[in-house]
Amino acid sequence: MGWRRVWWHRGNHTRNYSHNVMSGKWEGTGKCYLPTTQPPKLFLSLHKSTSSAHSLLVSLFIGIESIIQLIIQMAQEVVIPVDEVLLGEEIDHVRLITLNRPRQLNVISSKVVSLLAEYLEKWEKDNKAELVIIKGTGRAFSAGGDLKMFYDGRKSKDSCLEVVYRMYWLCYHIHTYKKTQVALVHGISMGGGASLMVPMKFSVVTEKTVFSTPEASIGFHTDCGFSYIHSHLPGHLGEFLALTGARLNGKELVAAGLATHFVPFEKLPELEKRLISLNSGDKNAVKSAIEEFSVEVQLDADSVLNKKSIIDECFSKDTVAEIIKSFEAEASKEGNGWIGAILKGLKRSSPTGLKITLRSIREGRKQTLPESLKKEFRLTMNILRTSISEDVYEGIRALTIDKDNAPKWEPPSLDKVDEEKVDLVFQPFKEDLELQIPEREESRWHGKYETTPYATSKVIA
């Protein structure tokens, strides 16, 4: 199959290894590649001390053993780079991205965003690259944005502006990518993490997949393109998912059109090998390969997707308050016990976050993807700047910092949220301070953060 090339990153260091899968030979640039000009010191010292055949054999053995130890050390660093946030591999015509922060549930940091953008641009322009596969290590695909990063930057003006800009800009390019993409999704896939799954040409989920967009519950809003995605789901399922943060399993994701295939978890490694051996980005060939492992989806009887009529009835209302009132009425009816826990979570969510999220989803129905992403950029920056409320930081504190799950929202109720203030966070920025999404195909990778006024001077949108 040729050469398998691996990039991985620790801090500011990048190491580049190539592995010839036919010969088994590794070649590397970085501080850990095997030295070729000097034999092990122990070998030299023994060789100089005696000329007897027996001593020579002993020294040869020790020298070979030292070399083997060095090879093992190098292989361990290449194969198990446990502290690298993202791995990028080139395997002939296949490109493989691995999200690699398992202890943090593969949350998306500024480094992850930068590397993703770098790889995807490079590979889209590389004629040899045909198929891009993305997966996560550990028990999660990706739990979304790094909330601690946002919380730690709360006292510094626009500390997270760059990562927000880069992520939303990247979301557009993921949606419109020119090469065939496959997401292999097991475990948690939430918020921004799901933006690396849903837009792909092929998104493969398992019985262990858990999807959610819970941002409104912590005083934020449904972002990373989901104000567009959710608004285009059947009926009012999008409002339901965005406002309640309700979870969907793998079967439900396929049934709702948020994933393309369901593959049993135990078969996922075999599917990955099959796609790599396919060595092609031909969409029909990739689809056929996935279908060798996929199974038909049968929703469980108690699936929330079987409650479509109730969801559409309640979540079609004009306001959050009317939605909650309608949902309460349905909860009192026999057989609707499933509503209780969801309704409780909805009522405990940030009133400001709920109002912003509902309006954003409703606007998404009339917007293009670029328009939705630009809107989301404004909303995110205004929320992080606490333009009308500090709820987002209070929500993060209660969920991930103090973990008391007892946020104190301000304002504390829906009726106290000023509609004029909500209007403010939706107002456009000056044109050059908006998210810059290229309109012409020949310049589709233009509009990067470093070309904006944000990167060259301190500005306020």
The neighbour count for residue 210, using CB atoms within 10 Å, is: 19
* One pLDDT digit (tens) per residue for the chain, 461 residues: 445 566 655 444 445 555 554 444 445 543 333 333 333 333 333 344 444 445 544 444 445 555 445 444 444 434 445 569 999 999 999 999 999 999 999 999 999 999 999 999 999 999 999 999 999 999 999 999 999 999 999 999 999 999 999 999 999 999 999 999 999 999 999 999 999 999 999 999 999 999 999 999 999 999 999 999 999 999 999 999 999 999 999 999 999 999 999 999 999 999 999 999 999 999 999 999 999 999 999 999 999 999 999 999 999 999 999 999 999 999 999 999 999 999 999 999 999 999 999 999 999 999 999 999 999 999 999 999 999 999 999 999 999 999 999 999 999 999 999 999 999 999 999 999 999 999 899 999 999 999 999 998 756 55
Cα-to-chain-centroid distance, residue 395: 21
Per-residue model confidence (pLDDT) at position 174: 98
Report the alpha-carbon distance of residue 294 to residue 74 in Å, rounded.
37
Quick check: 124 and 178 in contact, CB under 8 A?
A: yes
Per-residue model confidence (pLDDT) at position 439: 86
Enter the DSSP assignment of 443. Answer: G
Tallying the residues shown for the chain, one arrives at: 461
Per-residue model confidence (pLDDT) at position 329: 98
Report the alpha-carbon distance of residue 386 to residue 350 in Å, rounded.
14
Per-residue model confidence (pLDDT) at position 65: 52
Phi, psi of 86 (to 5 degrees): -155, 135
Q: Helix (H, G, I), strand (E, B), or coil: what is residue 360?
A: helix
Per-residue model confidence (pLDDT) at position 66: 53
Q: Kind and range of the H or E element at 8?
A: strand 3-10
Q: How far is CA 327 from CA 172, 244, 248, 322, 354, in A?
A: 34, 11, 19, 8, 15
Annotated active-site positions, please? 145, 192, 215, 223
Per-residue model confidence (pLDDT) at position 457: 73
Token pair for 376: 């989301």
Nearest-10 crossing angle of helices 283-291, 268-278: 150
Nearest-10 crossing angle of helices 161-175, 110-125: 30
Per-residue model confidence (pLDDT) at position 78: 42
Per-residue model confidence (pLDDT) at position 322: 98
The neighbour count for residue 403, using CB atoms within 10 Å, is: 9
Per-residue model confidence (pLDDT) at position 166: 98
Report the alpha-carbon distance of residue 348 to residue 353 in Å, rounded.
11
Give the full edge-to-edge strand order of the sheet including 13-20. 25-29, 13-20, 3-10, 86-91, 94-99, 131-136, 180-185, 202-205, 261-262
Per-residue model confidence (pLDDT) at position 383: 98
Report the alpha-carbon distance of residue 117 to residue 125 in Å, rounded.
12
Quick check: 97 and 134 in contact, CB under 8 A?
A: yes
Per-residue model confidence (pLDDT) at position 7: 60
The neighbour count for residue 270, using CB atoms within 10 Å, is: 12
Q: Helix, strand, coil: what percent of the chain each, to 5?
A: 50, 15, 35
